[in-house]
Structure 1
Amino acid sequence: MRLDGYLVKELGIQSRTKAQNYIKQGYVSVDGVVITKPSFDIEDQEVVLKEFKDYVSRAAFKLVNFLDEIDIALQDKEALDIGSSTGGFSEVLLEQGVRSITAVDVGKDQLHPKIRDDKRVDLYEQTDIRDFSHDPFDVVVSDVSFISLLKIMDKINELASKDIILLFKPQFEVGLHVKRDKKGVVKDQKAIQKAMFAFEDKATLLGWKLVKKSPSAITGKDGNLEYCYYFVK
C-alpha cells in the first residue's frame, strides 16, 4: 500500500492530498525513518505521524491544522476550553502562548497531568458548561461529544468576548434516528447538511461572523468527517 493511502485509511487523514502534504513536509516516519515520498510502499512497518506522537491527544492536531488556516492572535489571551477532556486543544493553546486557560468538562480525571500541572490552567471537572459562570474570555474553543452545539451556543455567546473556535461533529448533531454504518459513521448527507445549516443559522442569530469553515484534517475516532468553525463576535 502507498504511504499516502495508508494515512487516509488507517490514521484518518481526510484526503490523499493532505496526506501527501504531511509526508512531503517530513511529518511521517516509517520504522523510525522520516519518509518524504508519498508513493513509498509499506506493508507491516510502523508508521508514525509526528503530531499524533507529540500531543496528549489526537484532537490537538485538529486545532493545530485549523490554526494554520486562520489569522488569530492567541498570545497573552485568556481562553476557555469547553469539553477539555484529555487536553488536546488546551495543549495547543498553551503552545500558542495564551495567558491562561479555563478548562471545563463534565467528566473527571481526564485531563493529562502535563496540562493539569501547568500553572496557567484552571480546571473545572464534573461541570456542565451550561451551569458555569465567569467573566467573558478572549477566546473560546470547544470540542464536545454526546451533546449538540445548539444546546450550548447561548452559553458560549455569554462567555465569549471575541474569538470562537468550535468543532462541529455530525454524529452528535443529526440525532439518534439518522442512519449510521456499523462503525457509527453518519451516512445521511442531507441530515448532516440540515444540522449544519441549523448550527450556522443559530450563530448568525447570535451575531457571530463566520470567518472560516474547514473540514477537520483528521476524522473523528469512528471515521466521521468533522468541521472546524472560526467565528468572531
Structure 2
Amino acid sequence: MTKIRLDLLLVERGLFPTRTKAQAALMAGKVRVPGKDRPKAGDLVMRDAPVEVLADACPYVSRGGLKLAGALDAFKLGVAGRVALDLGASTGGFTDCLLQRGAAKVYAVDVGHGQLDAKLRADARVVNLEKTHARDLDPAAFSPRPDLAVMDVSFISLTMVLKPLLACLARPAAVVALVKPQFELEPKKTPKGIVKDDAHREEALTRVRDAAAALGLREAGVIESPLAGAKGNREWLVYWTLR
C-alpha cells in the first residue's frame, strides 16, 4: 500500500475541506496518529493509517485565528461589541476569530481578491475590502471608524503600513500585529525566506517596535506566536494602544 502526506490523507478522508485547514489542526496539536508524538502535515503515512481528529480542531477558517486568539488571551484584550479592521485578511483567520469573540463589525482588508472564506463573505458583520493595498488605505472608507486593528501582512514591512493604518482608526484604539521577521529584514538575512539567527529575529522585532513608538503607539504587550509561521519561522504578536 502506498504512503501519502498526512494533510492530504485528512482531506481525502473528508475530515477537513482543505489542506490549509488540515495543516492548521496539525499545527494546533488537534490530530493524533499512533506512534507519532507530534504529527506534521508532511509526514508520510499509510493510506489506511488510523488518525483521530479532536472535536475542537481549528475552530477558525485558517490557523491564523489560533495565533490571534492566543494574543487576545495573553493580552486580556476584549473584542465584544468593537468595530475592527483586519489588515491582510487573506482567508480570514483573524476576522473569524474577532467575530467569534463578539466583534460588531470587521473591515477585512487585503491586496488580493477572492481569498476571503465564503462563510465570512456572507456574514453581514464583515465588510470585504479586497484589492486594497495597505499603503493606500483611505480613512473615508471606514464608517464607523474601527477602534481595534489586527494585522497579518506579508511581503511588506509593518513599518510601511503603520502610518496609513493609524490614520483610519478612532481614538482611543488598540492595535495587535503579527511580526514576521522574514519581511522586516534584508534578503541577505533571510536565505530562502528563513530567519535562523536570533540576533536577526531580535533586529526585526526592534525595527517594528521602534517604528510604532515613533508614531505615538504605546506598547502594552508582546508574545511569541503560539504557532510558527511559514517554513517554521518564529513570529511575534505585539499589542499597542493609541490615544
Q: Above 0.5 in TM-score?
A: yes
* TM-score, length-scaled by structure 1: 0.78
2:232 to 216, 223, 233: 223
2:213 aligned with 1:204: yes
Deviations 1:11-68 (A, max 9, x none): 456xxxxx7xxxxxxxx4536x9xxxx89xxx96435466554321111100111111
2:71 to 60, 66, 86: 66
Distance 1:86 1:62 in 2: 14
Distance 2:27 2:105 in 1: 31
**Aligned to 2:131, what secondary structure does the other structure show?**
coil
- 1:165 aligned residue: 176
Distance 1:102 1:54 in 2: 20
Distance 2:196 2:226 in 1: 19
Distance 1:138 1:177 in 2: 37
* TM-score, length-scaled by structure 2: 0.75
Aligned 8 A contact 1:85 1:107 in 2: yes
* C-alpha distance 188-163 of structure 1, shift in aligned 2 (>3 A): same
Unaligned runs of 5+ in 2: 1-24, 39-44
Distance 2:121 2:202 in 1: 37
- 2:32 aligned residue: 30
Distance 1:166 1:226 in 2: 10
1:137 deviates by 1.4
1:93 deviates by 0.5
Unaligned runs of 5+ in 1: 1-9, 14-18, 20-27
2:130 aligned with 1:113: no
**Aligned to 1:174, what secondary structure does the other structure show?**
coil
Distance 2:196 2:180 in 1: 13
**Aligned to 1:218, what secondary structure does the other structure show?**
coil
* C-alpha distance 92-137 of structure 1, shift in aligned 2 (>3 A): same
Q: Which amino acid aligns with 2:91?
A: T
Aligned 8 A contact 1:79 1:140 in 2: yes
* Higher mean displacement: 108-117 or 71-80: 71-80
- 1:89 aligned residue: 94
1:147 to 156, 161, 165: 156
2:197 aligned with 1:192: no
Q: Which amino acid aligns with 1:155?
A: P
Aligned 8 A contact 1:179 1:188 in 2: no
Q: Which amino acid aligns with 1:54?
A: P
Distance 1:227 1:99 in 2: 26
* C-alpha distance 177-230 of structure 1, shift in aligned 2 (>3 A): same
* C-alpha distance 149-218 of structure 1, shift in aligned 2 (>3 A): same
* C-alpha distance 211-119 of structure 1, shift in aligned 2 (>3 A): same
- 1:176 aligned residue: 187
Aligned 8 A contact 2:80 2:104 in 1: yes
**Aligned to 1:137, what secondary structure does the other structure show?**
coil
Distance 1:128 1:29 in 2: 36
Distance 2:57 2:31 in 1: 12
Point out which structure has higher relative CO (alpha carbons under 8 A, 6+ apart). 1
Aligned 8 A contact 1:51 1:61 in 2: no
